[in-house]
A and B are shown apart, each in its own frame.
Chain A
Amino acid sequence: MQLSLPSPLSPRAPIAALALACATLVPVAVAATPVELLAGYTAQAGAPAVPARGQQFFTTRHGRDWSCASCHGNPPTETGKHASTGKPISPLAPAFKAERFTDTAKVEKWFRRNCNDVVGRECTAAEKADVLSWLLTLKS
């Protein structure tokens, strides 16, 4: 791996230092691939992911108003729509939107929020693994 760091005399150095200072104010995004994330959730769960169980989890309601599919669509391969604000939501399945499941902090943020909304609690690692494994079976 090659890193090109600005020399202390480089005119870019102060800008880079500022950018770094600003970046430390918020959590730094950790790049990943969907497959790596799935491996992480599967390891945490301690059991293999089951795509069919993920599909079931995604498309059914859990005693509340919304399912995952309420906003993301079913299957989530096209643009969805936020159930309360109507804002378009880009496809969730990674094969249809390359940025999906590539930023660990973002993925965790949205699992936390959306599981609270849909299930009324945070999802388990096994549930996340199941859903992600199903999303990865959706191909264009």
Chain B
Amino acid sequence: MRISLSLRAIAGLLAALCIVPAMADDDGHERRARGVPLLPQYQQECSSCHIAYPPGMLPAATWQRLMNNLPRHFGTDASLDDATVKQLSTWLTANAGTYKRVRVQPPEDRISRSAWFERKHDEVAASTWKRPAVKSAANCAACHPKSDQGNFNEHDIRIPR
């Protein structure tokens, strides 16, 4: 008990110092399931245009490529100042997905092209994706109302008509 408390204290201190400790790979599955708390700066910058996707949904190499290409980010300029890019890249790399299905870099660097994503959504008809209220597979919140809090629980899914 004492050990776990002091570990928590150390983790808290590191977080306060803006340093995110890199965690062991074997913790990846559990972390992916519950999601890590989002870095406030990450949340703020990325959620201007889309939900701040959980870092565990892409492998580190994909995040690095995305962060190195923000001025050409899926057809729009999402450029940031160098200091912020560095800060977010470091955090994303430390918290990137390592679970077996996430380890593979998806085509086009798209979460929605990941094998695990396609498998999880294989019951969704092509016409459903095209509904005006959904519009894009990037629009998680259309069907996962709590996705902005990292909650993709299937009991909370509401598919708009």
- Closest-by-CB residue of A relative to B80 is A109
Question: In the complex, are the beta carbons of B84 and A85 less than 8 A apart?
Answer: no
Nearest B residue to A112, CB-CB: B79
Q: Give chain B residues whose Cβ lies under 8 Å from the Cβ of A85.
A: 49-50, 135-136, 138-139
Check: A12 CB closer than 8 A to any chain B CB: no
Q: Say whether A8 faces chain B, with CB atoms less than 8 Å apart.
A: no
How distant is the Cα of A5 from the Cα of B74 in the complex, in angstroms? 45
Cβ of B141: which chain A residues have Cβ within 8 Å of it? 87
- CB of A82 within 8 A of chain B? yes
* A18, A22, A85 interface centre (most CB from chain B within 10 Å): A85
Q: Does residue A25 face the partner (Cβ distance < 8 Å to B)?
A: yes
Is B153's beta carbon under 8 Å from chain A? no
Q: A25-B18, A26-B84, A26-B87 are in contact. Are A84 and B79 (CB under 8 A)?
A: no
B-side interface residues, number (CB < 8 Å): 27
Q: Is B78 an interface residue (CB 8 A)?
A: yes
The digit string for A98-121, where 1 denotes a CB below 8 A from any CB of B, is 000000000001001110110000
Determine if A27 and B50 form an interchain contact, defined as CB atoms under 8 angstroms apart. Answer: no
Measured CB to CB, the closest approach of chain A to B100, in angstroms, equals 29
Partner pick for B50 among A18, A25, A87, A116, CB 8 A cutoff: A87
Contacts of A21 in B (CB 8 A): 17-18
Residues of A with C-beta under 8 A to B18: 21-22, 25
Q: Which residues, 33 to 63 on B, are CB-close (under 8 Å) to A?
A: 41, 48-51
Docked-complex contact A116 and B77, CB < 8 angstroms: yes
Beta-carbon contacts under 8 Å, A36-87 to B: 82, 84-87
Interface size of A by CB at 8 A reads: 17
Contacts of B134 in A (CB 8 A): 86
Identity of the chain A residue whose Cβ is nearest the Cβ of B79 in the assembled complex: A113
Q: Mark A8-33, 1 if CB is under 8 A from B, else 0.
A: 00000000001001100111000000
Contacts of B48 in A (CB 8 A): 87
**In the complex, residue of chain B having the shortest beta-carbon distance to the beta carbon of A27:** B81
Query: A84–B138 Cα gap in the complex (Å)?
Result: 9
Contact B71 A116 (CB under 8 A): yes
Pair B83/A87 contact, Cβ less than 8 Å = no
B77 near A84 with CB under 8 A, answer no
Give chain B's interface residues, CB within 8 Å of chain A. Answer: 16-18, 41, 48-51, 71, 74-81, 83-84, 87, 134-136, 138-139, 141-142
Sample of 17 further A-B pairs with CB below 8 A, known A27-B81, A27-B83: A21-B17, A25-B18, A25-B83, A26-B81, A82-B50, A84-B75, A85-B136, A86-B135, A86-B142, A87-B48, A87-B49, A87-B51, A87-B139, A109-B80, A112-B79, A113-B78, A116-B79
Residues of A within 8 A of B (CB): 18, 21-22, 25-27, 82, 84-87, 109, 112-114, 116-117
